[in-house]
Amino acid sequence: MLGQLAAWLTRDLAPGVAAYQQSALGMSAGLIGMCIEEADRAVARRVEENAAIRGLLARGADLVEARLSARLQALAEGADASLLVSALEAVNAELRAALIDLHAAVEALDGEAARALEADIWAELRASTERRRLSAGTV
Amino acid sequence: MSDLSEKLAAYLAGQMPGTSEVAVSDLSRISGGASRETYRFRLDWRDAAGSAASRLLILRKDPVDSLIDTERRTEFSAYRAFHGSAVPVPEMLYLEEDESHLGSPFFVAEQIAGFEAGPMQLLGPPYAEHHPAYAQRKWTILGEIARADPAAVGLTEGMESPALDACWSRELDHWEAIIDADALEPLPIIRAAIRWLRANPPPPAQKLSVVHGDYRTGNFLYDQAGGIHGILDWEMAHLGDPLEDLGWSFNPIWRWGRPGLVGGLAPREQAIAIWERASGLVADPAALHWWELFNCVKGQGIWVSSSKAFADGKNRDPILAFSGWLMGNAQDRAALEVMDKL
């Protein structure tokens, strides 16, 4: 249905308006297309990502200083209490903020465990862009 | 639109003593004005002898909240600095910072008519067969910008002149602060990039250059045969390291889905060779890599700002939401690629 709306904007409305409005309608149709892509995966990608980050935080808690470790451990033991996208997104933001702090801390550590965790953090960051990837993306 | 036409005509009449019957017609907003509202129009008037004259012009007017927060005087001065040089730019005519005329600051410039600017169009026929020529012209012009003496073109008075060893930190500080202020969600990839950039600073700039600030496929006017006739969108112009612009032109997001071709036009090494010949400068690989990664941070700064402006309701232009979302994700992937993590 949203796809039909996007097509109506670009095929039916756009030809009859001035250049700027044509461009704005094209952008709006593009946004609708991105919403269609995102709507289907919105819950799945957040649930998957939150679980992946919790796993990294749990491992990191064993490597970093006490205060950060306690924060990571608490977040790692959390769960997605609601499958509303807004609730999952709020949890995701908290987890990704902690991942930034863990990543920075691990970069400063020596040892195989730190390097292995750092590599896995990069793997998760790679995966995070795949989960969010849009078909119209330029990269 | 007629109200704007009338106010614009009244303003221009005041700038053109000795003329009469000054009239604005065919005023229409055009796309691409993410940081300014851009309009094209026709100006007609009679000179002091009563002869009729006309000219196609551009109005660039500040919106309430733009994709890029910059001073219109900076943009106006940069255009004016290069007019008549090897860097093709439209002639700047009037800069007005008094909001009483049109409701916000604006400038009026020559319209370079008859050419295209859209990046996607450039990638297909009949343009694609001329990509080597566009590339030659694109990076030659960028080399000319880098080669120019900022003092000689009159830009050292209105723009800050950072020390050669401070060009990188000035820019990184600026864009990190924007990300701190505007990011709507945590950005672990870009934060990792910022940490790397601070831990591995580039060598001092070879010289202080004019930096266009947004030199990319999509910001120049081109014909159908490999020619480039106007360099646009100087709103982020500043003085700094010439490698900054080269790095921005290599940002993977600007290759428009054409892997292996910087700007969607040419192999990277070819573009570097063209730039080095035109600029007389050297693109040190390590320094250029630093600036390429920096430009991923800068790009994300632009995308988070545009998203925030739209989300806050300050500016409802859909380009802000569209580019913020689409390019933000692409910019993260670009950063991973530049860091060899993709």
A122-133 confidence digits (pLDDT tens)? 999 999 999 999
Of residues B154, B139, B133, the one with CA closest to residue B242: B139
Joined together, the tokens standing for residue A132 give 């969010």
The reply to whether A31 falls in a domain is: yes
**Token digits of residue B139:** 């990076």
Q: Which of B257, B280, B263 is nearest to B132 (CA)?
A: B263
Could you tell me if residue A28 is inside a domain?
Answer: yes
N-term to C-term CA, chain B: 48
Q: What is the pLDDT of residue B264?
A: 96
- Chain A residues with CB inside 8 Å of B191's CB? 100, 103-104
Query: By the 8 A CB rule, do B240 and B205 touch?
Result: yes
* Strand (E) or helix (H) holding B56: strand B52-61
Range of the domain at A67: 2-132
Specify which residues B271 forms β-bridges with. Answer: none
B330 and A139 within 8 Å at the Cβ level: the answer is: yes
Q: How many CB atoms lie within 10 A of CB A63?
A: 17
Q: Is the peptide bond before B203 cis (omega within 30 degrees of 0)?
A: no
CA angle B276, B282, B284 (to 5 degrees): 125
Report CA B141 to chain centroid distance, whole Å.
14
Interface of A with B (CB under 8 A): 18-20, 22-24, 27-28, 30-31, 34, 89, 92-93, 96-97, 99-100, 103-104, 107, 122, 125-126, 128-129, 132-134, 136-139
pLDDT digits (tens, 9 = 90+) for B229-249: 999 999 999 999 999 999 999
- Out of B185, B253, B322, whose CB is closest to A138? B253
Report if residue A139 sits inside a domain. Answer: no
**Domains detected in chain B:** 2-110 (3.30.200.20), 119-338 (3.90.1200.10)
Q: For tokens 């990638």, name the residue.
A: B123
- As for how many domains chain A has, the answer is 1
Q: What is the pLDDT along chain B (342 residues), one digit of tens a residue?
A: 679 999 999 999 999 999 999 999 999 998 765 667 899 999 999 999 999 999 999 999 987 554 455 578 889 999 999 999 999 999 999 999 899 999 989 999 999 999 999 999 999 999 999 999 999 999 999 999 999 999 999 999 989 999 999 999 999 999 999 999 999 999 999 999 999 999 999 999 999 999 999 999 999 999 999 999 999 999 999 999 999 999 999 999 999 989 899 999 999 999 999 999 999 999 999 999 999 999 999 999 999 999 999 999 888 889 999 999 999 999 999 999 999 999
CA distance A78 to B315: 38
pLDDT in tens, A27-59: 999 999 999 999 999 999 999 999 999 999 999
The answer to whether the CB of B279 falls within 8 A of the CB of B288 is no
Structure tokens that stand for B72 in this block: 């219109």
Instruction: Answer whether residue A80 is part of any domain.
Output: yes
Do the bridges between strand B238-240 and strand B106-110 make them parallel or antiparallel, or are there none, so unpaired? Answer: unpaired
Token reading at B47: 């000179």
For residue B318, give the nearest of A27, A96, A126 by CB distance.
A27
Helix axes A85-107, A112-132, angle to 10 degrees: 150
